[in-house]
Structure 1
Amino acid sequence: MDDSSIIYTHTDEAPALATYSLLPIVRAYAATAGVTVETRDISLAGRILASFADRLAPDQRVDDALAELGQLVERPEANIIKLPNISASIPQLKAAIAELQGQGFAVPDFPEAPATDEERDSRQRYAKVLGSAVNPVLRQGNSDRRAPASVKQYARNHPHHMGAWSPDSKTNVAHMHADDFHATEQSAVIAEPGSLRIELATADGDTVVLRESVPVLAGEVVDSAVMRVAALEEFFAEQRARAKAEGVLFSVHLKATMMKISDPVIFGHAVRAFFPDTFARYGDALAAAGLNPNDGLGALYKGLESLPDGAEIKAAFDAELADGPRLAMVDSDRGITNLHVPSDVIVDASMPAMIRNSGHMWGPDGEEADTLAVIPDGDYAGVYQVVIDDCRAHGAYDPATMGSVSNVGLMAQAAEEYGSHDKTFEVPAAGTVRVVDTSGAVVLEESVEAGDIFRMCQTKDIPIRDWVKLAVNRARATGDPAVFWLDEARPHDARLIEKINAYLPEHDTDGLQIEIMTPEAATAFSLERIRRGENTISVTGNVLRDYLTDLFPIMELGTSAKMLSIVPLIAGGGLFETGAGGSAPKHVQQLIKQNYLRWDSLGEFLALAVSFEYLAQRTGNKRAQILADTLDRATATFLNENRSPSRKVGGIDNRGSHFYLALYWAEELARQTEDAPLAASFSQLARSLAENETAITDQLLAVQGAPADIGGYYHPDQAKTEAVMRPSEIFNKAIATLG
Structure 2
Amino acid sequence: MSRIIYTLTDEAPMLATYSFLPIVQAYARTAGVEVETRDISLAARIISQFPERLTDEQRQGDALAELGALAKTPEANIIKLPNISASMPQLKAAVAELRSQGYDLPDYPDSPATDDERDVKARYDRVKGSAVNPVLREGNSDRRAPLSVKNYARKHPHRMGAWTAESRTNVATMGVDDFRSNEKTVVIPADDTLRIEHVGADGSTTVLRESIPVLAGEVVDGTVLHVAALHEFLAAQIARAEAEGVLFSVHLKATMMKISDPILFGHVIRAFFPRVFEQYGDDLRAAGLDPANGLNGILQGLAALPNGDEIKAAFDQGIADGPDLAMVDSDKGVTNLHVPSDVIVDASMPAMIRTSGHMWGPDGDEHDTLAVIPDSSYAGIYQAVLDDCRANGAFDPATMGSVPNVGLMAQAAEEYGSHDKTFEIPADGTVRVLNQAGDVLIEHEVATGDIWRACQTKDVPIRDWVKLAVTRARASSTPAVFWLDESRAHDATLIELVRGYLAEHDTDGLQIEILSPVDAMAFSLERIRRGEDTISVTGNVLRDYLTDLFPIMELGTSAKMLSVVPLINGGGLFETGAGGSAPKHVTQLVKADYLRWDSLGEFLALAVSFEHLATATGNASAQVLADTLDAATGRFLDENRSPGRAIGTIDNRGSHFYLAQYWADELAGQTVDTELAAAFGPLAASLHADEEAIVAELIAPQGSPVDIGGYYHPDAAKTEAVMRPSATLNAALATL
| Aligned mate of 1:577, from 531, 554, 575 | 575
- Compute the displacement of 1:581 (Å): 3.9
Q: Partner amino acid for 1:565?
A: S
Q: Distance in 2 between matches of 1:67 and 1:177?
A: 39
Residues 297-446 of structure 1: pairs in structure 2 closer than 5 A:
297-446=295-444
**2: distance between equivalents of 1:416 and 1:130?**
16
1:328-356 deviations in whole A, cap 9, x for unaligned?
Answer: 11111111111011111000000001000
2:577, 2:709 → 1: CA distance?
27
Name the structure 1 match of 2:183: 185
Question: Where do 5+ consecutive residues of structure 2 fail to align?
Answer: none
Distance 2:386 2:40 in 1: 37
1:715 aligns with 2:713: yes
Find the residue that maps to 2:32 and give its secondary structure: coil
- Distance in 2 (CA, whole Å) between partners of 1:547 and 1:44 is 23
The residue aligned with 2:123 is 125
User: Structure 2 matches for 1:525-540, cutoff 5 A?
Assistant: 525-540=523-538
- Report what 1:629 is aligned to: 627
Which structure 2 residues correspond to residues 110-509 of structure 1 after superposition, within 5 A?
Answer: 110-509=108-507
Alignment partners' CA distance in 2, 1:417 and 1:10:
27
DSSP-derived class of the 1:457 partner: strand
- 1:677 deviates by 1.9
1:43-58 mapped onto 2 (5 Å cutoff): 43-58=41-56
Offset, 1:84: 0.4
Question: Which residue number corresponds to residue 28 of structure 2?
Answer: 30
Give structure 1 stretches of 5+ with no counterpart.
none
Shift of 1:427: 0.6
CA contact (8 A) 2:83 2:579 kept: no
Measured after TM superposition, the shift of residue 142 of structure 1 is 0.1
Q: Which runs of 4+ in 1 moved over 2 A?
A: 580-583
Deviations 1:409-454 (A, max 9, x none): 0000111241112100001111000000000000101110010000
**Aligned equivalents of 1:244 and 1:585: distance in 2?**
32
Residue type of the partner of 1:223?
D
What is the CA-CA distance between 1:580 and the residue it aligns to?
A: 2.7
Asked whether 1:556 is paired with 2:540, we answer: no
Structure-2 separation of matches of 1:179 and 1:618: 50
SS at match of 1:75: coil
Q: CA deviation at 1:649?
A: 1.6
Measured against aligned partners, the alpha-carbon deviations of 1:87-134 in whole angstroms (never above 9, x if no partner) come to 000000000000000000001111011112211110010110110000
SS in 2 for 1:511: coil
CA distance in 2, matches of 1:539, 1:425: 29
Contact 2:82 2:576 survives alignment (8 Å): yes
Contact 1:181/1:378, CA 8 A, preserved across alignment: yes
Q: Would you say the 8 A contact 1:85–1:582 is kept in 2?
A: no
Residue 583 of structure 1: how far off its partner (Å): 6.5
Contact 1:550 1:581 in 2 (8 A): no
- Using the aligned pairs only, state the percent identity: 73
Letter in 2 for 1:410: L
Distance 1:736 1:234 in 2: 65
- CA deviation map 1:485-520 (0-9, x unaligned): 000110100110110111111110000000000000
Paired position in structure 1 for 2:564? 566
Aligned match of 1:615 = 613
Q: Is the 8 A contact 1:485 1:519 kept in 2?
A: yes
CA distance in 2, matches of 1:343, 1:353: 15
Does the Cα contact within 8 Å between 1:84 and 1:583 map onto a contact in 2?
Answer: no
Q: TM-score, normalised by structure 2?
A: 0.99
Give the Cα–Cα distance (whole angstroms) in 2 for the partners of residues 561 and 507 of structure 1.
33
Contact 1:249 1:369 (C-alpha < 8 Å) held by counterparts = yes
Superposition deviation, residue 693 in structure 1: 1.0
Conservation of the 8 A alpha-carbon contact between 1:275 and 1:317: yes
Q: Per the alignment, in what secondary structure is the counterpart of residue 506 of structure 1?
A: coil
Q: How far, CA to CA, are the matches of 2:41 and 2:579 in structure 1? A: 16
CA distance in 2, matches of 1:227, 1:693: 60
Give the Cα separation in 1 of the matches to 2:270 and 2:236.
13
- Find the residue that maps to 1:706 and give its secondary structure: coil
Query: What SS is found at the alignment partner of 1:260?
Result: coil
Give the TM-score normalised by the residue count of structure 1: 0.99
Counterpart amino acid of residue 101 in structure 1:
R
Task: Please give the per-residue CA displacement for 1:188-216, whole angstroms capped at 9, x wherever unaligned.
Answer: 00001011000001101100000001110
Matched, 1:706 2:716: no
3-state SS of 2:171 partner: strand
Q: CA–CA distance in 1 between the matches of 2:551 and 2:167?
A: 23
Are residues 298 and 85 of structure 1, via their aligned partners in 2, closer, same or farther at CA, if it must alter by over 3 Å? same
Instruction: Give SS of 1:528's match.
Output: helix
Report the count of equivalent residues.
736
Distance (Å, rounded) in 2 between the aligned partners of 1:596 and 1:60: 30
Partner secondary structure for residue 501 of structure 1: helix
Give the letter aligned to residue 484 of structure 2. Answer: L
Q: 3-state SS of the aligned residue for 2:396? A: coil
Secondary structure of residue in 1 paired with 2:705: coil
Q: CA deviation at 1:648?
A: 2.0
Match of 1:60 in 2: 58
**Paired letter, 1:215:** P
